[in-house]
Amino acid sequence: MTIDMSQFIAVFFDEAAEHLANMESLLLKIDVSAPDPEDLNAIFRAAHSIKGGAATFGFSDLTDVTHVLENLLDRIRKQEIALKAEMVDAFLQSGDVLQSMLGAHRENGDVDQNEIQRVTQMLTRLVADQEAPGQSSEQVLTIVIQAGESFDEQMLLDELANFGEVQDFEPGDIHSAWRYHLKTSASEPQLLDSITFLVAPERLSIETIENREAAFGLFPTTPAPALTVDEGFGFFEPLPNNQVEVNVEEQGYGFFAPITPPTPASEPSTAQIVEIAPVQAARVPNERNADKSSADSSIRVSVEKVDQLLNLVGELVITQSMLAQNALQLDPVLHEKLLSGVAQLERNTRELQESVMSIRMMPISFVFNRYPRLVRDLASKLGKQVELRMIGENTELDKGFIEKLSDPLTHLVRNSLDHGIEMPDVRLSRNKQAQGTLTLKAFHQGGNIVIEVSDDGAGLSRERILSKAKERGMSVSDNMSDNEVWMLIFEAGFSTAAEVTDVSGRGVGMDVVRKNIQAMGGRVEIQSMTGVGSTMSIRLPLTLAILDGMSISASDELYIIPLTFIIESLQPKSDEIKTLAGRGNVINVRGEYLPLIALYDIFNLSAKLKSFEDGLVIILEAEGQKVALFVDDLLGQHQVVVKNLETNYRRVNGVAGATIMGDGHVAFILDVAALVKMAQHVSSSDIAKLAA
Amino acid sequence: MEQLLSEDGVNRELLVFALGKEEYGIDILKVQEIRGYDAVTSIANAPSFIKGVINLRGNIVPIVDLRVKFNIGNPSYDQFTVVIILNIAQRTLGIVVDGVSDVMTLSTEQLRNAPEFGAALDTAYILGLGTVDDRMIILVDIEKLMTSADMALVETAIA
């Protein structure tokens, strides 16, 4: 008998991913100076479970990495060695590597072997380092720039300042090399990465203290004051670690008092404080919520099964409403029992529908949980101090949103960190705390779920946005309301970033965010005040499967327009409608001329109404374009269940999906963005015809 | 021709339907159900043989009128109009035909190769001809036909 292993492997992948996520969130919460033994055990268990599973399924590479990880964790939890911020970093990085390995196994892809090796070595080194206690990750690196043409020194110094303290430097010229001594906890690759923007990589090298000593023979002419100091090294026994050497170098400046190597205990603790600070800066306030126990009592069900269930219940709801409609015609006295049965059916159906819907719901913490890490990494990269606060993580929303929300939300978080929150010194000069606050908040509001990303940073600059808009030739005026101004940043390619940074400002930006949110049937709003901060709110319907729509009729057909695209509807007067170039129509809405398109035209239906005055005009907005859509009538507002048309058919231009109305008939949901494009196409082909 | 044989060498059962005076046979395993013609919701800018979509127990299912497509039969719609719901390439779709007449199994002796000139449809979709007494049944590869590009039912032809 053969056993289909694939199903077990899938479970392993899911579980391993869960363990990793759990490990990461625990690591981010951990207090380095006084770790909770319970947390350490949990992290250890997670690593151990992954290792066990990986070994069972023969993923030896996973086993190898987790083995080293587990070793170190085991010693930490047994308090043989103390936890260090550096270790947390290493654990997080190995988590990333494990994640990519899992992904690779799942999709039969390849993993970057160098990355695995790097992490494994780092972990091994951390274990080994503990043999010689008192080690700190801070070291003095010497950046050597080979002689040659000059470069922007100030830029380089600024860049280096991001990584640590430049202790001194030896200027070079065309003939001799430049040397910068940097006291930093950053690794060489990190440094190299950022400096290569300023100096060609082939001219660049980095020496640690050890190899710098060795290199001295090669550069005997360098008139560095440090040289004499370093010669003093010969008097002493090789020191156990870099940190001590740094101290020796500092103390040895200018005079040669006999120095005994300081004992680890007397080592200045300043270095460690500096090193821990960024970690604390981005730490989430320690909230031990009750979700530890809730994780155990759940079962894993495939999404298809839930969708199928949802479909069936939707069908039941329609059948029930049909029954109810028919029952209305019965004599209430004669059919009392039947009618009360129908009423009960209605109640039960509704409850059933609600509980089936709730199966698809997941707490938003699934999205939020990735941000402590992101904020931590980004804040330390940007040199900012940020506290991340998360409110309402248990707010539930549709699983479909969870996946689609992470991209736009990540973008907003990055934006806030990069452009919103100022550097600590700027904040201090503005009478704010050096540490900025980034708040992620989710809550329900009237049938919607609202997710807010707010910061107490600089806020949006009205002047800059307006001048940028003018530069791009957009029609703006100085007396636009703040709200209208903020909305400008959603225009394609609109970036107010003064400079392109590593983090954001590359042009793909808010327009994509808005597009993604709109694709989910939601919208984005901005509130901002200069110097106080800004809040971006995303408003989404409760589930992907349900949409607020307006039903309209056009030549005997019924269509649904998603409510989020509708601005207003009005009854057109004939003098408001003008023709353009004799063919295309425009409508004057309070001084603004909008292209007027008729739905029956676009969909090639037969026109039922004789004149525009008999029908209605709906003003729609999609992707910044406004159009007026002419329809026969507005019928009403519904919540409709969205069905995919492509399941059994192909995509239809102008149609986003379909839904089933209360009477069992199918109605199409209009794709407003596509309609706007179609309208533009119609009018441009008209112009082409005229030109011909 | 081989496609008409199932794995264990027994000829598959065919569902026979009529289009005008012609009789067509399709693999019964592709057929999900047979139902009457319901009101359809027409699709904008679709070819005339795609009548629209219906709600089949919560699924949105497109309906093709083969009578219009092949230009045979009488495209009228009343309570006797027959829709065959098919399961093809993980999709569900319906075809409108003049009537369903039979379910039958043909033996190998009853099968003939299709001549080069076909009826209304391209011979590429004809597996062969079956003879039963003096009836001729056109055996159609319904999956290939429905996923073909000129049916415009799928984005790109799967077959």
For residue A620, how far is the Cα from the chain centroid? 29
Distance CA A254, CA A414 (A): 46
Please state whether beta strands A666-670 and A557-562 pair in parallel, antiparallel, or not at all (unpaired). Answer: parallel
| pLDDT for the residue B63 | 92
Whole-angstrom Cα distance, residue A470 to residue A636? 41
- Select the highest-mean-pLDDT range: A107-121, A184-198, A244-258, A436-450: A436-450
- All structural domains of chain A, each given as residue ranges with its CATH number in brackets, are 5-127 (1.20.120.160), 139-207 (3.30.70.100), 362-496+505-541 (3.30.565.10), 546-690 (2.40.50.180)
At residue B31, φ and ψ (nearest 5 deg) are -90, 130
Using the beta-carbon criterion (under 8 Å), do B45 and A604 form an inter-chain contact?
yes
Instruction: Give burial (CB, 10 Å; 0-12/13-18/19+) of A178.
Output: buried
pLDDT digits 0-9 by tens, A129-164: 665 444 445 667 777 777 666 666 777 777 777 666
- Nearest CA to CA, how far is B39 from chain A (Å)? 8
Residue A384 structure tokens: 């900012």
Does B97 fall in a domain? Answer: yes
Q: What per-residue string of b and e applies to A617-642 under the rule 16 or more CB within 10 Å gives b?
A: bbbbbbbeeebbbbbbebeeebebbb
Q: How many residue pairs bridge chain A and chain B with CB atoms within 8 Å of each other?
A: 76
Locate A98 and state its tokens: 């494990």
- pLDDT for the residue numbered B31: 92
CA dihedral B19, B25, B31, B35 (to 10 degrees): 30
Do the strands A592-598 and A625-631 form a parallel or antiparallel pair, or are they unpaired?
A: parallel
CB A468 within 8 A of CB A444: no
* Distance in Å, alpha carbon of B111 to nearest chain A alpha carbon: 33
Distance CA A425, CA A495 (A): 25
CA-to-CA distance for A597 and A158, rounded, in angstroms? Answer: 56
Question: Is B86 part of the contact surface with chain A (CB cutoff 8 Å)?
Answer: no
Subunit contact A646:B155, Cβ cutoff 8 A: yes
From A664's Cα to the closest Cα of chain B, the distance in A is 7
For A311, the closest chain B residue by CA position comes to: B58
Query: Is residue B44 situated within a structural domain?
Result: yes
Pick A647's closest partner by Cβ from B41, B46, B60: B60
> B10 and chain A: CB distance < 8 Å anywhere?
no
Whether the predicted pLDDT of B85 surpasses 90: yes
Residue B8 is assigned to a structural domain of this protein: no
Quick one: pLDDT at residue A278?
A: 41
Over 70: is that where the pLDDT of B47 sits? yes
State percent of chain A over pLDDT 90: 3
The per-residue pLDDT for A461 is 81
CA distances from B18 to A185, A691, B51, B73 (A): 82, 52, 19, 8
Q: What is the mean pLDDT of residues A446-473?
A: 82
Buried b (16+ CB within 10 A) or exposed e, A21-43: bbbbbbbbbbebeebeeebbebb
Question: Would you say residue B1 lies in a domain?
Answer: no
Domain membership flag for residue B2: no
Which pLDDT belongs to residue A232? Answer: 45
Over range A448-464, report the average pLDDT: 85
Q: Residue A148 has which token pair?
A: 């040659």
C-alpha pair distances (Å), A4 with each of A1, A14, A102, A227:
10, 17, 20, 68
Confidence (pLDDT) at A587: 87
Q: Could you tell me which of B152, B148, B145, B142 has the C-alpha nearest to residue B12?
A: B142
Find, in chain A, the residue whose alpha carbon is nearest to that of B87: A648
- Confidence at residue A246, expressed as pLDDT on a 0 to 100 scale: 43
Q: What confidence tier does A640 reach under pLDDT thresholds 50, 70, 90?
A: confident
pLDDT of residue A162: 67
Distance CA A65, CA A51 (A): 8
B44 touches chain A (CB under 8 A): yes
Which residue in A315, A646, A666 is closest to B41 by CB distance? A666
Does A665 contact B92 at a Cβ distance shorter than 8 Å?
no
Smallest CA-to-CA distance from A105 within A75, A141, A61 is with A61
For residue A483, name the pLDDT band (cuts at 50, 70, 90).
confident
Residue A164 one-letter amino acid: G
Cβ distance B153 to A649 less than 8 Å, yes or no, reads: yes
Nearest CA in chain A to B152: A650
> Can you name the residues that pair with B53 across neighbouring β-strands?
B41, B62
- Give the gap in angstroms from C-alpha B44 to the nearest C-alpha of chain A: 5
Instruction: Inform me whether the pLDDT recorded for A445 exceeds 70.
Output: yes
Domain with B74 in it: 13-158
pLDDT at residue A692, as a whole number: 46
Chain A closest-CA separation from residue B54 CA (Å): 6
* Distance, CA of A381 to CA of A298 (rounded, Å): 38
Which residues contact residue A317 at a Cβ distance below 8 angstroms, ignoring those fewer than 6 apart? A349, A350, A353
Model-wide pTM > 0.80: no
Q: Which helix (H) or strand (E) holds A409?
A: helix A399-415
B59/A contact by beta carbon, under 8 A: yes
Assign A209 a pLDDT band (cuts: 50, 70, 90). low
Measured CB to CB, residues of chain A less than 8 Å from chain B are: 311-312, 314-315, 318, 557-558, 602-605, 643-655, 658, 660, 664-668
- Name chain B contacts of A660, Cβ cutoff 8 Å: 55, 58, 60
In this complex, do B41 and A603 lie within 8 Å of one another by their Cβ atoms?
no
Residues 6+ apart with CB under 8 A from A345: A320, A323
Q: What total of structural domains would you count in chain B?
A: 1
Helix, strand, coil % over all residues of chain B, rounded to 5? 15, 45, 40
- The answer to the question of residue B152 being in a domain is yes
3-class secondary-structure state, position A351 = helix
Contact B44 A655 (CB under 8 A): yes
| Alpha carbon distance A496, A489 (integer Å) | 8
Distance CA A263, CA A71 (A): 28
A648 vs B58: CB contact, 8 Å cut-off? no
Say what angle helices A153-161 and A188-195 make with each other, to 10 degrees. 140
Residues 6+ apart with CB under 8 A from A561: A549, A550, A552, A618, A620, A629, A669, A670, A672
Judge whether residue A122 has pLDDT over 90: no
Which ipTM value was assigned to this complex?
0.83
CB A109 within 8 A of CB A212: no
Residue B7 lies in a domain: no
Predicted confidence at residue B3, as pLDDT, reads 55
A407: closest CA among A371, A449, A361? Answer: A371
- CA dist., res. A513 & res. A359, Å (int): 27
**pLDDT tens per residue across span A375-398:** 888 888 888 888 899 998 888 888
Average confidence (pLDDT) over A325-339: 86
Q: Residue A586 pLDDT > 80, yes or no?
A: yes
For the ranges A32-46, A220-234, A350-364, B74-88, the lowest mean pLDDT is seen at A220-234
Cβ atoms A415, A407 nearer than 8 A: no
In a domain, B3, yes or no: no
Which tens digit of pLDDT belongs to each residue from B109-155? 788 777 766 555 667 788 888 888 888 888 888 888 888 777 777 76
Cross-strand bridge partners of residue B2: none
Residue of B nearest to A559 (CA): B41
Q: Which tokens go with A207? A: 């020496």
How close does chain A come to B41, measured CA to CA in Å?
A: 6
The 3-state DSSP class for residue A451 equals strand
Alpha-carbon span A567 to A621, nearest angstrom: 7
What does the longest C-alpha to C-alpha distance in chain A come to?
113
Which CATH number characterizes residue B91's domain?
2.40.50.180
pLDDT of amino acid A559: 92
Give the Å distances, CA to CA, from A28 to A87, A319, A442. Answer: 12, 50, 21
pLDDT tens, position by position, A63-92: 888 888 888 888 888 777 777 777 888 888
Classify residue A600 as exposed, middle or buried by CB count within 10 Å of its CB (0-12, 13-18, 19+): buried
At residue A656 the predicted structure's pLDDT band, cuts being 50, 70 and 90, is confident
- The three-state secondary structure class of A248 is helix
- Distance of alpha carbon A436 from alpha carbon A456, whole angstroms: 6
